[in-house]
């Protein structure tokens, strides 16, 4: 099985400098990226999880985190 996990394409440095609406849209996009990555993590098999040092419980706990709970380095 091949799993592709990517880091967020948007970071604090690349966040729009425009108005509030642009920042809200960018923040929403970051949340959706996090949700997609967490869903991928939750679908990895036990062997793939072991390769990255995680257990099934770790993966399921991460996958269950809310969409707005993103890494601090991603926040606006």
Domain assignment of residue 53, given as a range: 18-69
pLDDT in tens, 13-44: 555 567 889 888 888 888 899 999 999 999 99
Q: 21-51 burial by CB neighbour count: b if 16+ within 10 A, else e?
A: eeeeebbeebbebbbebbeebeebeeeebee
Assess if residue 63 is contained within a domain.
yes
> How many structural domains comprise the chain?
1
Q: What is the model's pTM?
A: 0.64
45 within a domain of the structure (yes/no): yes
Please determine, for residue 61, whether its predicted confidence score (pLDDT) is greater than 60: yes
Can you tell me the distance from the alpha carbon of 67 to that of 65, in angstroms, rounded to the nearest whole number? 7
Tell whether 12 is covered by a domain.
no
Residue 10 lies in a domain: no
In a domain, residue 22? The reply is yes
Q: Which residues contact 65 (CB under 8 A, 6 or more apart)?
A: 34, 38
Q: Is residue 74 part of a domain?
A: no
């Amino acid at each position: 099985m091949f799993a592709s996990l990517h880091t967020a394409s948007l970071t604090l440095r690349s966040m729009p400098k425009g108005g509030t609406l642009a920042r809200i849209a960018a923040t929403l996009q970051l949340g959706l990226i996090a949700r997609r990555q967490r869903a991928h993590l939750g679908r990895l098999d036990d062997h793939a999880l072991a390769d990255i040092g995680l257990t099934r419980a770790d993966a399921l706990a991460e996958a269950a985190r809310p969409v707005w709970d993103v890494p601090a380095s991603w926040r606006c």
